Structure 1
Amino acid sequence: MFKKMRRIDKKMKKEKAIKILKNSEYGVLSTIGENKYCYGVPLNYVVMENSIYFHSAKEGHKIDNLKFNKKVSFCVVKNQKPIPEKLTTAYESVVVFGKAEFVEGEEKRDALMALTKKFAPNHMEKGKESIKKEFD
């Protein structure tokens, strides 16, 4: 279904890839629209079990694309370090492919709480209030 990785010597173990995904702060979600153009947008996210969750406005380019085609890729890059003398950059990256779904109810509430805990741990009460408003 997908092409084999060209630089197989750079392939990391699944456990390390999951650790990078869980510990990174943002990644780029790539979608495709009706016009057949790709659209990549940086997003913060949280990993819960075997899923990646994003929060988003209810409309916009990304949402239009997801309604057209649920297939996505998501890329995270971490630990970038330029190596000028070799004219290169060292980094770790993870690219995943999947299908995006819009979630509601408890799953949405849990994802929003996890995002709050990850990105605003000192503001959990404010996060809970904001989440409550979203469900009212």
Structure 2
Amino acid sequence: MIPEVKVRRKEFEIFDAKEIQELLDSCEYGVLSLVDLNNKPYSVPISFFYYENNIYFHSATNGKKIDIIKKNPYACFVAVKPYSFLPSYFKNEKVACFAGQAYASVYFEGKINEINDKAKKCEYLDNLMKKYQPEGGYDPIEYENVNYAKTIENVVLFQLKTSYVSAKFKFEQHRSHENNKNLISKLRSRGSKIDEETIKMIEKFL
């Protein structure tokens, strides 16, 4: 079950767990935000995978990120998938305010826990590889494998156990059906690959 979800613009709000899972599976990285030892914000891009409503990521055994997490494990995380930029002249040839960006995003808040169990650590690191290298081409990650044992000891695996999630899919849902049909026509004429992907998302939410 997805935790509490809130979005200010309700027309962009997404509750569907499958949509959220598919988005996060397709995002190559996200940004983890922490509060450092001097009470200042610190953000870092990370590779990750999403499983059972939580975010998993790995790290070296030392460094600024590790130092902060040890002192303050509370964090937020955001992943965004950009779609087409929608120029103002697609809607109005005189007013710049009509320009916009289509995108899908998910924002999380929660507490970071370290995964110490070796079997779980291997399982989750293997899941991370399956996300980024689904074609395989490597031996499964197992602690008993001498090729992995030392590496596993030198990698820290974290779980961001989420307490709050906000999913926002912005595909012109606030515009009329007629306006979006016109927008789709212009995107199709422009004809880039990202435009075709954007068209599919706009049509999904018509």
Q: Shorter chain as normaliser: what TM range?
A: 0.7 to 0.9
Q: Are the structure 2 counterparts of residues 119 and 127 from structure 1 closer, same or farther at C-alpha, using a change threshold of 3 Å?
A: farther
Q: Percentage identity across aligned positions?
A: 34
Which residue of the other structure, out of 23, 26, 39, is the alignment partner of 1:20?
Answer: 23
Deviation track 1:96-136 (CA, whole Å, cap 9, x = no partner) reads 11111111222211111111122123332286665333246
Structure with max Cα Rg: 2
CA distance, structure 2, for counterparts of residue 118 and residue 131 of structure 1: 19
Partner residue in 1 for 2:113 = 101
CA distance, structure 2, for counterparts of residue 35 and residue 97 of structure 1: 21
Larger helix proportion of the pair: 1
1:74 and 1:95 in contact (8 A); partners too? yes
CA distance, structure 2, for counterparts of residue 70 and residue 10 of structure 1: 30
1:116 and 1:124 in contact (8 A); partners too? no
CA distance, structure 2, for counterparts of residue 58 and residue 14 of structure 1: 36
CA distance, structure 2, for counterparts of residue 108 and residue 92 of structure 1: 30
Aligned pairs, how many? 135
The runs of 5 or more residues in structure 1 that have no matched partner are none
CA distance, structure 1, for counterparts of residue 75 and residue 106 of structure 2: 14
2:79 and 2:105 in contact (8 A); partners too? yes
1:39-118 aligned at under 5 Å gives the runs 39-85=42-88, 86-104=98-116, 105-118=118-131
The runs of 5 or more residues in structure 2 that have no matched partner are 89-97, 154-206
Partner residue in 1 for 2:92 = none
